[in-house]
Structure 1
Amino acid sequence: MRNKAWAAIALTRSGIIQARRLREEISGLTVYAMPRLCTDREKPIDRPIAEFAGEMFCRYDTIIFITACGIAVRAIAPHLRSKSSDPGVLVMDEQGGFVISLLSGHIGGANDAARLVEKLTGARAIITTASDAGGKIAVDTLAGRLGCAIDSLEDAKRVTALIVNGETVAIDSRRDIKVELPESIVSYREGCGAAGIIRVTNRVPEPANLPCAYLIEKSTVIGIGCRRGTGAKQIQELIDRELERLGIDRRSIKKLASIDIKSDEQGILKAAEHYGAQACFIDKERILAVEGDFAESGFVRASVGVGGVCEPCGFIASGGGRMLLGKTTANGVAISVWEEV
């Protein structure tokens, strides 16, 4: 599993000086260096650099080589897989004059990482992706800034090409987009004359007449009540069934919410992991404060001390969001579905 922090790789004395400088500025950055250069604050590179780089690919989201660019390229080349999964890779020269966004500039975040290093150290960021070089924004960059999943990388590339070439692209979202956009990206409306569309949604993508990139927002919250010992499979089956019926994309699930006494319920925890969602557990006192707005059950009150679980927990966890599905039960599981507004 990847560490969200950074790794810096240095092979020389000059390089490790820059790596230590970065460590002071970037919280959680781990410095890897040749054993002869390490203090007790660094970790040794104990194998050939290409083999070592492969391990870093699996462990870190951002890797900065403080080496010649060619060394970095040869080290990472055997481990490249896909722009959707490769980490962001930077290269910084040993004097700290330049920092290059080398790999995964958009989805992997290398472009933003290079800008951060520039801001913190004064090194000049070198960014070569066409959208950034032209003052535009790529669809995958926008997805990252909005915290969205990209439905199709091919569709995202097609719409990005329109943006880079100065075509008008419309953005369709039920919520305000709090990201600065170039003038060529306009709000969606009928007859706006757009050559392509970016749709930010929690719904299952549908075919479109124009090139269309779907960005799946994390905005769906599932309230859950269940019997003790209920398995993740039973929970997932009910969630999947109801989301399909509602036309909600499973990738949009942000939270699974239940009462605090369920915080060790393995079925809920494993289901949250399955969806890449947060398991959220609500204090009984907070549920009591809002339970009058929802249907109550004497059995539930006798069992856990509140009149209902799935509906009030979904309401609270969604920040008072919109209910898409009221209490629905199957095989000892009760869920409600909400979307943040």
Structure 2
Amino acid sequence: MISLQESMIPDVQVDGDYALVAITKHGVELARKLRATFQHADLYYMSKFGKGDESEKQIQLFEGSVRLLLPSLFQRYKGIILIISLGAVVRMIAPLLKDKKVDPAVVVIDDKGENVISVLSGHIGGANELTREVAALLQAHPVITTASDVQKTIPVDLFGKRFGWVWESAENLTPVSASVVNEERVVIVQESGERSWWNYDHPLPAHFTYTCSAREALNEDFQAALVVTHRILSEDEEVLLHNGVLYRPKTIALGIGCNRGTTKEEIEAVIEKTLDELRFSIKSVKAICTIDLKKDEQGLIELVNQHGWEFVYYTPEQLNEVEINEPSDTVFKYTGAYGVSEPAVRLYSGAKSLEVEKKKSGNVTISVAVIPFS
């Protein structure tokens, strides 16, 4: 727990770029919801609203006035998102302000999550882009008041964040951001993930080139690259990353069947081996899908909690509505469904074809789908 007597962040692992802070009951619920989809954010809220899972989820609890916490946050984070009234925030941060070149971005959200307001460091600090991304995640109204907010381009460090996309590495964020801002030739490669990342009411600027294939992008004339794919790039495709950022969209669904009592370690090993064979990144896994008989399977529960994956299960009746190539009478005898991993992943993903239809390994059966473009 944070000691506000010392106004220090505790000596625990905090590795996000953004701090998300709430001080009310409704604010905590909103913050937990936002943090589930907004990557690279550390969550702080008052200990009286603790739910018992904070240590497991690396959520920071504090007591006393949030005002005493803010100096540490200002030093530690590039952006601070506060679910606190605007007036209170203005009064609390006023003594902390130094210069627009060093002050972090500050964004305020109202307690109902209806408005997201850019408060401080709109341009240089990135608060305006942060406001847009958070508002899109919450389906809220972004409030940006700076008259010169006209560039309207891609925020490299926030690209796809509201969909749960994660960077493979942050190494090139700064030089690629410079290329985007300076309107150099930038190729955008999108092989999977959500298409609705462009938020503006005007076309993509002319210095961007968009392609759906990393292979095709190699033929383009570019100075920087934004690459969105679930695939492990081939050696020759990695030239895109010399001045590029690789994003992993949440686009892989795994259908899993397993014997009762199968350990997390065995399930995880099968998943890792299968994805390695497919040359897919585990960072792009979105969900594990199975039958409702497995909703209390400890190995599965531990695995999805560890990775932050969705855990989806279906009734035998729902699974039996899906046409599969090799229905099993044996599986039906024990579960009431003619298949588990394959129909479950087909139901969840909506994919017409699977990357792995069904593969049995020890106590685990796995099916793999790539969720189609949305």
Report the TM-score when normalising by structure 2: 0.65
Q: Which residue of 2 aligns with 1:288?
A: 320
**What SS does structure 2 have at the residue aligned with 1:323?**
coil
Structure 2 counterpart of 1:178, which letter?
A: S
Does structure 1 retain, via aligned residues, the 8 Å contact 2:128–2:144?
no
Q: Which residue of 2 aligns with 1:165?
A: 182
Q: 1:50 aligns with which of 68, 88, 95?
A: 68
Q: Distance in 2 between matches of 1:219 and 1:338?
A: 8
Does structure 1 retain, via aligned residues, the 8 Å contact 2:81–2:108?
no
Q: Which residue of 2 aligns with 1:18?
A: none
RMSD between superposed Cα atoms in Å: 4.4
Q: Which residue of 2 aligns with 1:66?
A: 90
**What SS does structure 2 have at the residue aligned with 1:279?**
strand
**What SS does structure 2 have at the residue aligned with 1:202?**
coil
Q: 2:169 aligns with which of 152, 169, 175?
A: 152
Aligned ranges 1:166-185 → 2 under 5 Å: 166-175=183-192, 177-180=195-198, 181-185=204-208
Q: Distance in 1 between matches of 2:136 and 2:346?
A: 39
CA distance 1:104–1:322, change in 2 (3 Å): farther
Q: Distance in 1 between matches of 2:127 and 2:92?
A: 23
CA distance 1:271–1:127, change in 2 (3 Å): farther
Q: Which residue of 2 aligns with 1:13?
A: none
**What SS does structure 1 have at the residue aligned with 2:239?**
coil
Q: Distance in 2 between matches of 1:232 and 1:27?
A: 29
**What SS does structure 2 have at the residue aligned with 1:254?**
strand
Q: Which residue of 2 aligns with 1:225?
A: 257
Number of matched residues? 293
Q: Distance in 2 between matches of 1:115 and 1:146?
A: 9
Deviates more, 1:219-228 or 1:311-320: 311-320
Structure 2 counterpart of 1:324, which letter?
A: E
Deviation at 1:179, TM superposition (A): 2.7
Q: Distance in 1 between matches of 2:29 and 2:233?
A: 38
Structure 2 counterpart of 1:71, which letter?
A: P
Q: Which residue of 2 aligns with 1:237?
A: 269
Structure 1 counterpart of 2:195, which letter?
A: I
- Is residue 2:220 matched to residue 1:199? no
Deviation at 1:107, TM superposition (A): 12
Q: Which residue of 2 aligns with 1:38?
A: none
- Output one character per residue of 1:124-147: Cα deviation in whole Å (capped at 9) or x when no partner: 54599xxx7633222222231443
CA distance 1:311–1:167, change in 2 (3 Å): same
Q: 1:100 aligns with which of 120, 125, 134?
A: 120
Q: Distance in 2 between matches of 1:236 and 1:308?
A: 21
Does structure 2 retain, via aligned residues, the 8 Å contact 1:89–1:110?
no
The structure with the larger Rg is 1
CA distance 1:72–1:316, change in 2 (3 Å): farther
CA distance 1:289–1:168, change in 2 (3 Å): same
- Output one character per residue of 1:100-134: Cα deviation in whole Å (capped at 9) or x when no partner: 25797479935645899xx969x754599xxx763
Structure 1 counterpart of 2:333, which letter?
A: A
Q: Distance in 2 between matches of 1:149 and 1:211?
A: 17
Q: Distance in 1 between matches of 2:285 and 2:31?
A: 30
**What SS does structure 1 have at the residue aligned with 2:188?**
strand
**Identity over the aligned pairs, expressed in percent?**
23
Structure 1 counterpart of 2:224, which letter?
A: G
CA distance 1:260–1:120, change in 2 (3 Å): closer
Q: Which residue of 1 aligns with 2:59?
A: none
Q: 1:305 aligns with which of 336, 354, 361?
A: 336
